[in-house]
Amino acid sequence: MEWYGVKNADTIDSPALLVYKDRVQDNINLVLTMVQDPGQLRPHVKTNKLVEICRMMLDSGIRKFKAATISEAEMLGMAGAGDVLLAYQPVKPKLLRLLKLIDKYPGTKYSCLVDNISSARLFSESLSNQGTERRNLQVYIDLNVGMNRTGIKPADAFELFNELQRLSGIEFKGFHAYDGHIRDSDLEERTAHCHRDFNETEELRKKIEQAGHQLPLLVAGGSPTFVIHSTKQNTECCPGTFIFWDKGYSDTLPEQDFQYAALVLTRVVSLPDKNKICIDLGYKSVASENDLQNRVYFLNHTCLKPFSHSEEHMVIELEEGHNFKIGDVLYALPIHICPTVSFFDRALIVEDAEIVDEWRVVARNRVITC
């Protein structure tokens, strides 16, 4: 049986998210070898959304994390994480949720992003309204290094840094920069691209150091660039997809040897024509932002190509005379695993080719308690 095969697959309703626990641990062990010190790692948990996975990282010596949503941040509080960066600039309703989260999990040090003085003043005023007992809100200035999504240009950030020093209730912790636009397949070209786009950021950090401050911490990078950033002084790296890996990054980051650790089990549910089969892998079960031929790869039938896709179904065209029967199982490897996980409310845990447990995908919800 191949590594992905499940002996008791006939007991599983489909589509189902399968997580291979031993492979997850292997990926955690590998990422720790790719940096000089575990303290350099601040993994992004948007990929896994599972308390149990976060505890596996904690048990392996990883202490700091990054989250995209309040629910992911709360999941980390539930797991017992010590340091959590909400990689988002909250507007007032989300800020109030964050303050509740800080109160609920006092053992977790929470922080968030800011990229303008108006938001920083909102933070300061909201903290003042909460009373004098509240500790300062820790913030990272979000830098735009070419992603052009959020953040302030590094050339304009020195002034914001100075203004933050004067606001009550705000504690500057460092800079954050996400460089998801850097995706060169060739590592040498990707490295050069990364250095070019972060040149102004390094100049900014040196300018602040020359002004009499410590060299600010930089939280940067995702899966394509985290190893590049790991060579920089006072820098934390934020890979996320490594925990489960996917076909997209496996194809574009050939130098990284993480293992596939999460799949979707799907089945043939209809034979609509002599040269077509229909499976229960719709939009609601696998990330579908890419074009039709770049959404999923079937490990046990690698030649299959999607013909059409809808909410609950995927139709696959093949040659007449095929041997597929209704009920046949396919093991689908997502091209993009991160949004795929969020479609499922539970993950089935595979060990020794059998389903041994199920874990709630708790952070797929917009709200847990806070």
How many CB atoms within 10 Å of residue 73? 32
Per-domain residue ranges of the chain: 9-15+258-364, 21-244
Q: Mean pLDDT in runs of 10 for the chain (370 residues)?
A: 95 97 98 96 98 98 98 98 98 96 96 98 89 78 97 98 95 97 96 98 98 97 96 97 98 97 98 96 97 97 96 95 96 98 98 97 97
A 10 A CB-CB count for 33 gives: 7
User: Which tokens go with 212?
Assistant: 């009499």
Task: Calculate the dihedral angle through the C-alpha atoms of 175, 32, 79, 346, rounding to the nearest 10 degrees.
Answer: 110
Q: What is the pLDDT of residue 224?
A: 97
Tokens of 201: 């950021």
Give the class (CATH, top level) of 21-244.
alpha beta
Could you tell me where the beta strands, DSSP code E, fall in the chain?
16-20, 64-67, 83-86, 109-114, 137-143, 170-177, 217-220, 235-237, 262-273, 276-279, 296-298, 305-309, 314-317, 329-334, 346-351, 354-360
Residue 183: which residues within 8 A CB-CB, separation 6 or more?
A: 190, 224, 252
What's the CATH architecture for 9-15+258-364? Beta Barrel (2.40)
Dihedral sign (CA 281, 43, 72, 124)? negative
Decide: 150 and 89 in contact? Cβ < 8 Å.
Answer: yes
